[in-house]
Amino acid sequence: MAIKIVQGTPKKLYKEVSPIVKDCFEGVWTEKDLLQLLDLPHENNLFLVAYEEDKPVGYAFIVADFEESVDTKIATIQEIGVLPEFRESEIAENFLEKAIQFSKATKAEYLEQVVSTIDQWLIPAFVKKNLKPSEIKADREISSFNEAKLILTNIKKNSKISVLMNQLFFENNDELETHIVENEADFDLIKRNDPIAFGSIISIDKADDLENTLTELKNLDIEWDEIGITFNYML
């Protein structure tokens, strides 16, 4: 059956896809979460829905904004959701092609997406459309410095993992407070001892390194809660 992709405004097409959001993300993301995402302000946005006949089977939401911190405009794929039984089709690739066209039309410097653990089925489509992995962010919830030190020690033992930065996260009035930690001495400089998470940002020099680095991360004596991979497409 042929797949048709329709472009429209987020608020209008939200009603079309809201019934399938949970099934696209195995229940960890809901239609309410999507609505909150759509409510955030952006300079430019693109919402796409894939249909089999009249049935919505997938959607994508892409935005483009000028980022003052890097003095450039960046397009971001906020979300791609496709029902599991349609993931073998070319829906994701078609979404990516339209995202690239949108990024060029809005004069963005590059297009990016962070692929979470649950989204890693998208990786073959990203590779096929020449999006390049640039970094991996691995996170684990913790409750003590001892846990953080153990994770840091295990990462440092593996020379095949190129760590750009290790961070500790703390709650601070509904926001996150972060501290960089490169060795155990850095813990003594932190004036609190109630971390909620540890995160490592890992460099990927070339696409061929991605699979090997993911394997090395999974082989560490660490049970990561989330592994996110940033993909970029330079325009």
In the chain, ranges of CATH 3.30.1340 domains: 136-228
What is the token pair recorded at 226? Answer: 């989330």
Helix axes 31-39, 10-17, angle to 10 degrees: 170
Instruction: Give the pLDDT confidence of 33-47 residue by residue, as tens digits.
Output: 999 999 999 999 999
Q: Mean pLDDT over residues 6-14, rounded?
A: 90
Give the CA-trace dihedral at 152, 157, 161, 167, to 10 degrees: 10
* Six-digit token string for 75: 């397009």
CB 98 within 8 A of CB 46: yes
Where does the chain have alpha helices with state H?
Answer: 10-17, 21-24, 31-39, 91-105, 123-128, 145-157, 209-219
pLDDT at 56 over 80: yes
pLDDT at res. 138: 96
The predicted-structure confidence for 163-217, as pLDDT tens digits, reads as follows 999 999 999 998 999 999 999 999 999 999 999 999 999 999 877 889 999 999 9
How far is 126 from 147, CA to CA, in rounded Å?
A: 35
Tokens of 91: 């829906």
Q: How confident is the model at residue 1 (pLDDT cuts 50, 70, 90)?
A: low
Given a cut of 70, whether residue 125 has pLDDT beyond it is yes
Read off the DSSP letter of residue 85.
G
| Backbone torsions φ then ψ of 76, nearest 5 degrees | -130, 130
Residue 221 has pLDDT above 90, yes or no: no
**Cα–Cα distance between 41 and 101 in angstroms, integer?**
21
Look over the chain and give the mean of its residue pLDDT values, rounded to a whole number.
94
CA nearest neighbour of 231 among 103, 107, 59, 141: 103
Class of domain 136-228: alpha beta
| Architecture of the domain spanning 3-130 | 3-Layer(aba) Sandwich (3.40)
**Which residues, 6+ apart, have CB-to-CB distance to 2 below 8 Å?**
52
Residues of the chain with CATH 3.40.630.30: 3-130
The answer to whether 73 and 52 have CB atoms below 8 angstroms apart is: no
Convert the pLDDT of each residue in 75-112 to its tens digit: 999 999 999 999 999 999 999 999 999 999 999 999 99
Q: Are the C-beta atoms of residues 113 and 61 closer than 8 Å to each other?
A: no
- Residue 53 Cα to chain centre, angstroms: 30
Q: What is the pLDDT of residue 225?
A: 95
pLDDT higher than 70, residue 162: yes
Q: Taking 70 as the threshold, does the pLDDT of residue 113 lie above it?
A: yes
Question: Are 139 and 178 a contacting pair, CB within 8 Å?
Answer: no
Sign of the Cα torsion 13, 74, 109, 227 reads: negative
Distance, CA of 174 to CA of 164 (rounded, Å): 27
Give CA–CA dist 126/130, Å, rounded.
6
pLDDT bin (cut points 50, 70, 90) of residue 27 is: confident
User: Per-residue confidence at 69, pLDDT binned at 50, 70, 90?
Assistant: confident
More confident residue, 81 or 68: 81
Residue 197: helix, strand or coil by DSSP?
strand
